[in-house]
Chain A
Amino acid sequence: MPGSLSTLKVLCAALAVLFVIAHPAAAQLSFKPTAEAVQEDKLLNALREGDKIAGRITIPDATAANLIQPAGRDWRDFQRNKLPIIGGIAIIGMIAVLAIFLMVRGRIRLQRGFSGKTILRFASFERFTHWLTASCFIVLALSGLNISFGRMLIMPLFGAEAFATMSLYAKYAHDYLAFPFMLGLVIMFLIWIKDNIPGKLDLQWIKQGGGLLANGQHPPAKRFNAGQKGIFWIVIIGGALMSVSGWFLLFPYLPADVTALQFWTVIHAVIAMLFIAAMLAHIYIGSVGMEGAFDAMGTGEVDLNWAKEHHALWVAEEQAKGRAPSGTAPRAVPAE
């Protein structure tokens, strides 16, 4: 094969030229083993934000190739100094806002009182999904807060050993309940997405402040008003971020990189604080904050007057479909 022979010749020539240019013998003479040695100071100074000094390692554990990662100190600073401020402002701030709201606005009452007639707002499967996710969320939130603040707030009360035992079980609960929580998120997304697409009515609702501030003002709404849609999207987007970041923390050998894990812990912690604050508002308005609201997720049946005040258009739709009692005045009880 003449073709391959000529290729070989060209290769040999190229190698010869390289040899002359590179001249390894000369390079060896000018090489000073000590002058060109790596210096820790130079490497540290040359590091960019989040970088590590790494090298080659002969053991199988690839993470061991990182010699020094100064970013650990930034992570420590976040964990010990920044996160308590973010969490404190978000959670205590939300509790304060809700307390002030309750004091100023009081409980949002039904304008026309209870009608005695009810309409089905959430079917049993919807309520099951809600409470599955909600109960998991509460345990996840408490066990998560325990990791961030337990040492500061709870450990002094019970002592290190009892606290460590409690924290270990809390960690197990956090690890395992993540899965039913994620399942709940997926189902909620599927069953409620159709009622949570933002629309023109939502602008009107937002302009009127949802009728939260003025007594007796109720912007019209379909099944979910803009506030409820907001909660839905906070849960879906926040939950998705928690799930993705949590997945890497559950399976730390997936990214197997300390910088990636640091990033995901920061995402997990910050989103968690905001998520908890948002859910406090959701819990407030669904229980103490508004008369008649809890029934929606309690028995699933809400009072017709409540439904008309808060979701006038939805009631009209349901009545048109024949799934709700009609008429404003209580119907006369048939004589038979």
Chain B
Amino acid sequence: MARVKFLCDADRCIECNACVTACKNEHEVPWGINRRRVVTINDGKPGERSVSMACMHCTDAPCAAVCPVSCFYTTADGVVLHSKDLCIGCGYCFYACPFGAPQYPKVGNFGSRGKMDKCTYCAGGPEADATPAEYAKYGTNRLAEGKLPICAEMCSTKSLLAGDGAIIAEIYKERVMKRGYGSGMWGWKTAYSDSPTG
């Protein structure tokens, strides 16, 4: 089995926000929640870079480690998913996540966090694949249809890559070799190699 990952080649990202929009549209993401966003570092200065960021589907995921009800699980492909039936909306995954991926719909003014929502790598949730119940809670299960996440699939500059971690890392390294520069594999150190328990 492949170990799937995201990789954003910031030297190619033009901050068009199409990945953000495509994600929201594909999954009917609730108002106020963005499973993916584009952050511009050093905006307006020479050498600014934009990075498209979502859940990185970490190895040894911090969200899963701190969840009080253990609602997270990792698929055979390395995708970190969660059960909205188990989630109690406590906010712990948001505190622990290095990438700010978990978000909560505001349900009323009091106890104001609903069930957590985050990027599913277009892989749905614990429900049976491609069912209306799965779609309503987690959005489209493109992985079950043999497709990659919509954000990476429609990226106009092929800045955002999704797929087998070894293959996309190789593609990125080839690009860096050819053009002679690269601002880094954003988030990889934090998500895949630098976690406290290895």
Chain A contacts to B: CB under 8 angstroms: 31, 33-41, 43-44, 53-61, 63-70, 72-73, 75-77, 79-80, 146-148, 150-151, 155, 160-161, 163-164, 167-168, 171-172, 175-176, 249-253, 258, 261-262, 265
- Judged by DSSP, the binding face of A is helix
Is B43 touching A55 in the complex (CB atoms < 8 A)? Answer: yes
- Knowing A37-B181, A55-B43, A155-B69, say if A79 contacts B92 (CB, 8 Å): yes
Q: Which of B48-56, B132-140, B147-155, B164-172 contacts A (4 or more CB under 8 A)?
A: B48-56
- Given A40-B183, A41-B184, 11 new contacts (CB under 8 A): A35-B181, A40-B187, A59-B34, A61-B32, A61-B103, A72-B95, A155-B70, A164-B69, A249-B91, A258-B95, A265-B92
Taking the complex as formed, is B143 at the interface, i.e. its CB lies under 8 A from any CB of chain A?
A: no
A53 to B195, CA, bound (A): 17
B119 to chain A, nearest CB (A): 13
Is A167 touching B69 in the complex (CB atoms < 8 A)? Answer: yes
Is A80 touching B65 in the complex (CB atoms < 8 A)? Answer: yes
A269 to chain B, nearest CB (A): 11
Give the contacting residue for A72; candidates B49, B69, B98, B179; CB below 8 A.
B98
- B97 cross-chain contacts in A, Cβ below 8 A: 72
Q: List 23 A-B contacts (CB under 8 A).
A: A38-B41, A38-B47, A39-B183, A40-B10, A44-B190, A57-B40, A59-B20, A67-B51, A69-B99, A76-B62, A80-B65, A146-B68, A151-B68, A151-B69, A155-B69, A160-B69, A164-B85, A167-B68, A250-B110, A250-B111, A251-B112, A253-B112, A261-B91
What residue in chain B is nearest A149 (Cβ atoms)?
Answer: B68
A66 to B39, CA, bound (A): 8
A interface footprint on B83-116 (CB within 8 Å = 1, 0 otherwise): 0011111111011111110010010001111000
A175 to B91, CA, bound (A): 13
- B89 cross-chain contacts in A, Cβ below 8 A: 171
Is A53 touching B70 in the complex (CB atoms < 8 A)? Answer: no
